[in-house]
Chain A
């Protein structure tokens, strides 16, 4: 049973962007690392990027991206709505995939969303 709830499927034109949301059911993202992972048809899981909250006197967030996505992936959070977002720009047919958000208190992903299917087609 997914403990993270993601937005619904998307169909996008090549060259456009997609924004997928993710929010926890029943608690918050506070103190969790958040990751975005995708699975293209017939392929394995691919880690895209994520962020680590740093809790302390000078709270900060560290973002990390896979090289393949660092120029076109944006990860944000909205504390007021307890929602994380992944925006991917410059879509091509190769970006057709099931996109997952995941979170963990450590660097492995304990909780996962149900996945959001993004289809890129003209």
Chain B
């Protein structure tokens, strides 16, 4: 089973800041990685697929990089609606696995 490790677990930032979240796989997942945003009381929402592709309708302030074992999600100018938990998921190996998530909270 592929282990996905996200860091940091919590990041405190202010609206307008730029933040980069990290996700590391225990072995290569190539570019088979997605990023999700999750808010309390709401269903998760996919932001990024195939490591770097933004899902249609997702704002351009969300961007992602990486392949193999190292991945990153950047939010360039944080808006109030971006405070949430962000999780990465690999889909290169069965079973599919999620990282533990990074909570982006207001400083």
Give A residues with C-beta under 8 Å from B: 2, 35, 37, 39, 43-47, 49-50, 64-67, 100, 102, 106-110, 112-115
15 A-B pairs with C-beta separation under 8 A: A2-B43, A37-B44, A44-B98, A44-B101, A45-B98, A47-B96, A47-B98, A49-B95, A64-B94, A66-B97, A67-B1, A108-B49, A109-B46, A112-B44, A115-B43
Give the complex CA separation of A49 and B1 in angstroms: 13
* Bound CA span A65–B94, Å: 8
For A67, what are the chain B residues with a Cβ–Cβ distance below 8 Å?
Answer: 1, 95
A25 to chain B, nearest CB (A): 13
CB nearest to A45 among chain B residues: B98
Verify A113–B46 contact, CB threshold 8 A. no
* B contacts with A, residue count (CB < 8 A): 23
Query: Which residues of chain A are near B36, meaning CB under 8 Å?
Result: 45, 109
Residue of A nearest to B101 (CB): A44
